[in-house]
Each structure stands twice: as structure tokens, then as C-alpha cells.
Amino acid sequence: MTTMRDLIVGPDTPTPPYPILVEGTVVEGFGRGGKQLGIPTANLPSSVVDQALENIPIGVYYGWAQVQDDIVRPMVMSLGWNPYFKNEKRSGE
């Protein structure tokens, strides 16, 4: 059985506090993205994560990302605690 779903979900026009712009230098992470998850991650400094979480709740978000001068790509970002890995501080991955 195949079911179709919308490719884009959510309102046609974002409502505050969205969209959120998060910008920062990519920093070394916990070393588990490529090794344990099998995908590369771009990690943000804790100061950037703390600032982003002033306006939005902890969660997993989708959006767009650009690293250096590379093309803009779709992305998913976890902002906050990562219970699977038992983080001791909030992170942005």
C-alpha cells in the first residue's frame, strides 16, 4: 500500500518566532556524527545554541544550511539535549 503525503508541511507563511536565523562558526563536535550515525554533522558553538534557544523551544528543526561558500542545502538540526547520547550540555548538531 502506498500513501502520498505533502512534500512541505506547515503554514504557507511562517509565524513568529519563525523563521529563525542561526549563524556561527562550525566547531568540532563529539566525534560521533560520521562514526556512529554514518552522516556528517556541522556543530555550532554553545553560545550560538544558547542564543537560538532564547526564542524557541528545544527540539529538532528543519530548514536550510550553508557552510562557507557552498550551496544552500536542506538540513535537519537538533537544538538542545540529546538524550540518546546523554549530553551534559545543550548542543546544536
Catalytic residues: 93
DSSP states of 2-48: -----SS-S-SS--TT-S-------B---S-IIIIISS---BBPHHH
Helical H segments across the chain, by residue range: 46-52
Rounded CA separation 50/92 (Å): 9
